Amino acid sequence: MSLRDIVKDGDPILRRISRKVDNFDGKLGKLLDDMRETMKHADGVGLAGPQIGIARRLAVVEVGDTYIELVNPVIVAKSGSQVGQEACLSVPGKACMVERPMNIVVQYSDRFGKQHTGEYSGFVARACCHEIDHLDGHLFYDFEYKGGYRQADKK
Ligand code: ZN
């Protein structure tokens, strides 16, 4: 495993729409291992492909005992809402409040190409949403929550 350089805000790759992963070979596993190591080394809870200069639809999320490798992830259902603070390894020194769903259902592949459906809530759901946004060229502060009217929580 090796550490990768983390791309910082201002680099156009962070604003690109990433392409699907279609090669499930050993290189993908190595890449995901590097991403996990890079994320942990930087004290993050998630890292997406574009953040290490790879515009492909893949991300890792690690919160406590939950470690998820998301390849070609798609959020297929969401419910409820939560407002909480976010930051990003690519945007040092900035944090703001963002509204996210409380619960999500994500379809994704693992490193071997096997399909999975995961249900996540709370902070893990927030981290997954943040990482999946990276794959569409969005950064968390695009969605800064400014208070005022808040969508009613839907259970
Ligand atoms: Zn981020």
What is the mean pLDDT of each successive set of 10 residues along the chain, which is 155 residues long?
96 98 96 98 98 98 97 98 97 97 98 98 98 98 83 49
- Give residue 155's pLDDT: 45
Catalytic residue flag (residue 37): no
- Give residue 149's pLDDT: 56
Of 62, 69, 86, 131, catalytic: 131
| Ligand 1 centroid to residue 90 C-alpha, Å | 6
Pairing of strands 46-48, 58-63: antiparallel
φ and ψ at residue 125, rounded to 5 degrees: -60, -45
CA angle in degrees (0–180, nearest 5) for 11-126-66: 105
| Ligand 1 centroid to residue 139 C-alpha, Å | 6
- The CB-side HSE value for 6 (13 A sphere, CA atoms) comes to 20
Distance from C-alpha of 7 to C-alpha of 28, rounded to nearest angstrom: 19
- Could you write out the DSSP letters of every residue in 4-35? -PPP-TT-GGGGSPPBPP---SHHHHHHHHHH
- Give residue 147's pLDDT: 83
| Ligand 1 centroid to residue 132 C-alpha, Å | 9
